[in-house]
Amino acid sequence: MQIPNTFNINVKANIYLPIHSEEALVEALQQHKNPFVLGGGSNMLLTQDITQPVLHILLKGISIVKENNDNVWIKAQAGENWHQFVQYTLSQGYGGLENLSLIYGNVGTTPVQNIGAYGVEIKDVMESCEAINIHSLQKRNFTNAECSFGYRESIFKGKEKGNYIITAVTFKLTKRNHLLHTEYGAIQQLLAERRLSSPTPKQLSEIVISIRQSKLPNPDTLGNCGSFFKNPIISKTNYEELKIQYPDIPSYSIDETQVKVPAGWLIDRAGLKGYRKGDAGVHNLQALVLVNYGKATGKEILAVAHYVQATVLKQFGITLEFEVNIF
């Protein structure tokens, strides 16, 4: 069985089990130890065939937990497609997820990575998530605070890595008085072009989709997993030193002592946008994205990633960290 993945890497599994219910998940965990858990097949790079039993989490369902005049708490099962879920909430008039439109993957993996875009992260909208412990088979509810969210980090990538499988996520969304994040330059530009001074959540989602489509390849036509590298966080002192040599280097303030520098800018400035070796390469429109032009192997894409890391380190003294999981 070929493992579905957005890089379109040809990797096979000896044992593949589609999971459509919590009962089926518990039963599979009773029979198979040390499983390989598969969600939407995004945010991962497969470099070899998987010998572990693959459990493909496909639980479906969306339901309202509770609501009041201002907010709605909506639960989505882990196997729901993320972008389709976002669009569903917007169609109901709910706000909160609009900036996270057109991110590939499924609902269940969003807290693991604490996905984010344009000033919004999962930690800003997630109320809680349900998960099954793969050892005890007991179900646990994790509150937002218990998830230990950080920049593209969570307890599921740290302390509890490999111990839990998320089965459902509950989000707290707004029904009115929406708090929209429009501070990014690209969003501001399109708002001005469309003469939208007070956009609705759905209109903001449409702008985000337009921006992402203009610079990010569709995995259905060009294998990729979105952003491959994290935006590095460096000291303000380091940043000021770099700014002397590179006056146009952009940054986003984290706190009084740290700033975030766009990894895409560093890769582009290092001359690697559009770099290609065989069928593996750096996308020619968005340097943060590595792509499979056809028949690249996971190891060939990983080699390009290491080359990008080494080049950026040599030129800027900054080590880029992978955002994706490597297997």
SS3 202: helix
Tokens representing 242 are 């770099």
For residue 28, what pLDDT band results from cuts at 50, 70 and 90?
A: very high
Task: Please identify every residue annotated as catalytic.
Answer: 152, 227, 323
DSSP annotation of 214: H
CATH topology of domain 223-326: 3.90.78
Per-residue model confidence as pLDDT tens digits over 81-114: 999 999 999 999 999 999 999 999 999 999 999 9
Place of tokens 């956009």: 199
Question: Is CATH 3.30.43.10 the classification given to domain 16-57?
Answer: yes
CB 62 within 8 A of CB 77: yes
Residue ranges per structural domain of the chain: 16-57, 62-174, 223-326
Contacts 24+ apart (CB under 8 A), 145-153: 147/111, 147/114, 147/123, 149/111, 149/114, 149/121, 149/122, 149/123, 150/114, 151/114, 151/116, 151/230, 151/233, 152/113, 152/114, 152/115, 152/116, 152/230, 152/323, 153/114
Instruction: Give pLDDT, residue 252.
Output: 87
Q: How far apart are CA 324 and CA 45, in angstroms?
A: 7
Q: How confident is the model at residue 2 (pLDDT cuts 50, 70, 90)?
A: confident
- Among 53-57, 144-148, 185-189, 263-267, which stretch is predicted with the lowest mean pLDDT? 185-189
User: SS3 letters for 114-146?
Assistant: CCEECCEEHHHCEEEEEEEECCCCCEEEEECHH
Residue type, 241: E
The answer to whether 109 touches 166, Cβ cutoff 8 Å, is yes
pLDDT of 1 reads 81
Can you tell me the mean pLDDT for 244-259? Answer: 94
DSSP letter at 181 equals -
- CA 146, 152, 132, 88 dihedral sign is positive
Q: Whole-model pTM above 0.75? A: yes
CB 287 within 8 Å of CB 268: yes
DSSP reduced 3-state for 174: strand
Class in CATH terms, 62-174: alpha beta
16-57 and 62-174 agree in CATH topology: no
CB 272 within 8 A of CB 252: no
Question: Where are the alpha helices (H) located in 179-235, listed in sequence order?
Answer: 185-193, 201-215
Q: Average pLDDT, stretch 232-257?
A: 94
Q: 302 falls in which pLDDT band (50, 70, 90)? A: very high
pLDDT tens per residue across span 139-169: 999 999 999 999 899 999 999 999 999 999 9
pLDDT confidence bin for 55, thresholds 50/70/90: very high
Q: CA dihedral defined by 85, 145, 252, 287, rounded to 10 degrees?
A: -50
Kindly indicate the confidence band of residue 185, based on its pLDDT and cuts at 50, 70 and 90: confident
Q: What is the DSSP letter of 168?
A: E
Q: How far apart are CA 32 and CA 34, in angstroms?
A: 7
Q: Name the nearest CA neighbour of 7 among 277, 211, 278, 281.
A: 281
Q: What's the average model confidence in pLDDT over 215-243?
A: 94
